[in-house]
Amino acid sequence: MPKLFSDPIWQKPKTVFALQPQTPAGPIDAVIVGGGIMGLSTALHAARQDLAVQVLEAGAIGEGASGLNGGQVIPGLKYDPEWLVEHFGKERGEALVNFAASTADAVFDLIRDEKLAVPFTRNGWIQAAHTETALTAAANRDRQWRARGADVELLSQAEIAAMTGAQGYLGGWLDRRAGVVDPLAYTVELARVTAAAGVGIAERQKVVKLAKDASLWRISTESGAEVRARAVVLATNAYTDGVLPGLARTIVPLHSFQIATAPLPADVGAGILPGGQAVSDSRRILVYYRRSADGRLVLGGRGRMALPSSAADWAHLE
């Protein structure tokens, strides 16, 4: 039976840095609960605005979903620009479209500007269509983003076969704004620059209680530490528990299972994603895949709702 996270393919960078495990004695501007990508990014940008910030992480940096995911960096949302404008109105809809269009830039600009030691490839994302209906949807999506100046391209059956090495897709579309990163390296490097910006990052500090006392929040951890702050950001996502009553009911955590091959021989790898793009298909329960920096093929998809209990839980990917 495969062991959870027993043989990670993502690698921590060789950069050395020290976290600040001590929590502050006096009041600070903000406590960030959760040291994943969202929490660390929030802390970094707050610190750059001269705010005093403390991150409290229940586990270790990179141990959760931020360091374990497929590393696909894809702009856009589930819904296309015209749908967003129709349902949210011109002002709010356009704001959502512009935000969605900028998300991949935000990641790759941060890697460049902060000189993060993160393996990445930015040659785009392919959404592969497996039915005529999906192909029509891809053409519609391509049209909408192309009209807004995005670097996108509709792919024929022959073109997508050449780019992926997979037979059976009817076509698809390519969004060149996207790319892939090593998610563990990105998370750890984000922690490094966040700590360098003056943010305290304390690992193994699970928050168990939030209490408002006049103008300050008192944040208590399982180990007995307490921090006082003017604001609290809960950046726990799928790991959200009962620390804020009712919040967990608004989140549905889903398990995404992944497998990886050994590094592919050169003659085999040459025909599989030679451009290094990210790929996901158009099925309702989709499968996504990419190449890793060391030449593996990494595949993922939605798994069972419970934690895995046998090798059969990965059978749909194998």
Distances, alpha carbon 24 to alpha carbons 56, 165, 195, 201, 219, in Å? 11, 54, 14, 11, 12
Q: Is the pLDDT of residue 184 over 50?
A: yes
Question: Of 124-128, 160-164, 250-254, 267-271, which range is least confident?
Answer: 250-254
What is the distance between the terminal CA atoms of the chain, rounded to a whole angstrom? 14
What gap in Å lies between CA 276 and CA 263, rounded to an integer?
14
CATH assignment of 72-181+254-314?
A: 3.30.9
pLDDT at 1 over 70: no
**Residue 120 pLDDT:** 96
Mean pLDDT value of segment 92-117: 97
Residue 307 clears pLDDT 80, i.e. is over it:
no
Beta sheet of 256-260, edge-to-edge order: 152-155, 171-175, 125-129, 278-281, 287-291, 297-302, 256-260
Nearest-angstrom CA–CA distance, 274 and 88: 40
Under a CB-based contact definition with an 8 Å cutoff, are residues 32 and 207 in contact? no
The pTM for the full model equals 0.91
For the chain, give every domain's residue range: 28-69+184-250, 72-181+254-314
28-69+184-250 CATH choice from 3.30.365.10, 3.40.50.970, 1.25.40.10, 3.50.50.60: 3.50.50.60
**Residue 316 above 80 pLDDT?**
no
Residue 302's pLDDT band (boundaries 50, 70, 90)? confident
For residue 6, pLDDT over 70 is answered with no
Residue 108 pLDDT exceeds 60: yes
**For the chain, percent of residues with pLDDT exceeding 70:** 92
Instruction: Give per-residue pLDDT as tens, 26-53.
Output: 899 999 999 999 999 999 999 999 999 9
Give the model's confidence band at 199: pLDDT under 50 very low, under 70 low, under 90 confident, else very high.
very high
